[in-house]
């Protein structure tokens, strides 16, 4: 009896393993499937028209679907979106240029599924940014249609920035502001956390360079004094006497600060990496154009921020101002074989009497998805 019971139960679970949400095939021009009855008829028409207009303007077999259910039941939102995408076969078979937004109302989950052909244009990071920055804030306010529409338009604008839909009325005042807020990188870079991170990075780099410069100068001063003590001829000692006097006066400083050029060279790659990472996190793809933009921005941003930083130090930090003055005097009047001179030769030019020394020194449809996209919950 037990054997029959076990056999029956096993047969039941093998035959009926799970209960999954049925994927309903859509009609020819239907791009919105609302099985949860979340949207009104007017909202469905507006959304459907927008999606069809996008496909028409692309004219390459692209397809964009919105699929709304109450729950994905025993599947995750990622599994369900993948199954819907490949069951409906969104996009063209050759280009795999399909996009799907799946929303599970009761599960409070949403996902953007990207076809293989669009994964290079709409990265997982960008899809996640659209969900977190555009769709979810509207969903949390129960503005489901606005959230879906804004997410659709933002996704479309990444693919085709010139897209315009006649079905969007003027009532979407928030939409334009929300969609274009991600198009301007300066808006993100001007935000408070980025400025704070850059200032902290600058202070850290300046402190490290100050420590290294202090060790370098203190070591050079000791070597200069040792060289003076070992000079044999009176003429040489007389030449070095004034130099040593200036060095002894210069040794009063506790710290020696790095010149502007050194700080700029060290800060430039750090600033470039910071800007690149920040924009990448906010959904901007890493390509040649954006990398070049980040480097150019880092160059000028770094240059002007350091100018401001050094100007503030010069005005409000008296030891810094006095040290620059003393270092310039030493650099312009040091003997040609001075070790200390090498520490400042790149920062200050020599006087005309020492020009010969400087010259000798020189200078240095049927589409398919493989699971790309992003998910979120509210």
CB 114 within 8 A of CB 64: no
User: What is the structure's pLDDT at 348?
Assistant: 47
Separation between Cα atoms, residue 321 and residue 100, nearest integer Å = 62
User: What is the structure's pLDDT at 93?
Assistant: 84
**Residue-wise pLDDT tens digits, 170-207:** 444 344 444 434 445 665 566 557 778 888 889 999 99
User: What is the structure's pLDDT at 365?
Assistant: 59
One-character DSSP codes across 161-225: TT---TT--TT-HHHHHHHHTTT-HHHHHTSHHHHHHHHHHHHHHHHHHHHHHHHHHHHHHHHHH
One-character DSSP codes across 148-161: HHHHHHHHHHHH-T
**Residue-wise pLDDT tens digits, 196-252:** 888 888 999 999 999 998 888 888 778 777 766 665 555 556 666 777 777 777 788
Domains of the chain, earliest start first = 2-183 (3.10.310.50), 189-346 (no CATH)
**Residue-wise pLDDT tens digits, 267-294:** 999 888 888 887 777 666 666 777 888 8
pTM of the model as a whole: 0.50
């Amino acid at each position: 009896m037990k054997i029959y019971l076990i056999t029956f139960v096993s047969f039941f679970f093998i035959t009926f393993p799970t209960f999954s949400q049925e994927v309903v095939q859509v009609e020819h021009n239907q791009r919105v499937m609302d099985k949860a009855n979340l949207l009104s008829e007017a909202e469905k028409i507006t959304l459907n028209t927008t999606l069809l207009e996008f496909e028409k303007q692309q004219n390459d077999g692209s397809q964009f679907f919105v699929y709304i259910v109450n729950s994905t039941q025993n599947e995750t939102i990622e599994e369900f979106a993948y199954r819907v995408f490949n069951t409906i076969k969104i996009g063209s078979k050759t280009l795999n240029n399909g996009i799907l937004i799946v929303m599970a109302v009761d599960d409070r989950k949403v996902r953007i599924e990207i076809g293989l052909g669009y994964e290079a244009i709409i990265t997982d990071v960008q899809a996640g940014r659209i969900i977190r920055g555009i769709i979810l804030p509207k969903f949390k306010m129960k503005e489901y249609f606005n959230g879906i529409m804004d997410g659709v338009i933002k996704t479309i604008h990444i693919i085709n920035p010139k897209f315009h839909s006649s079905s969007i009325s003027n009532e979407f005042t928030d939409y334009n502001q929300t969609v274009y807020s991600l198009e301007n990188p300066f808006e993100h870079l001007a935000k408070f956390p980025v400025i704070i991170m850059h200032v902290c990075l600058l202070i850290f780099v300046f402190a490290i360079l100050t420590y290294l410069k202090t060790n370098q100068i203190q070591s050079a001063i000791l070597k200069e004094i040792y060289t003076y003590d070992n000079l044999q001829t009176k003429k040489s000692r007389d030449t070095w006497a004034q130099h040593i006097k200036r060095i002894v006066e210069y040794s009063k400083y506790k710290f020696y600060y790095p010149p502007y050029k050194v700080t700029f060279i060290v800060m430039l790659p750090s600033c470039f990496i910071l800007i690149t990472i920040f924009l990448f996190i906010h959904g901007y793809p890493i390509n040649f154009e954006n990398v070049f933009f980040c480097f150019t921005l880092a160059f000028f941003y770094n240059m002007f921020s350091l100018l401001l930083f050094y100007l503030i130090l010069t005005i409000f930090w008296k030891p810094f101002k006095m040290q620059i003055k003393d270092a310039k005097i030493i650099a312009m009047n040091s003997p040609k074989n001075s070790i200390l001179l090498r520490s400042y030769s790149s920062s200050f030019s020599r006087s005309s009497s020492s020009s010969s020394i400087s010259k000798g020194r020189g200078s240095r449809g049927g589409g398919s998805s493989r699971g790309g996209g992003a998910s979120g919950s509210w």
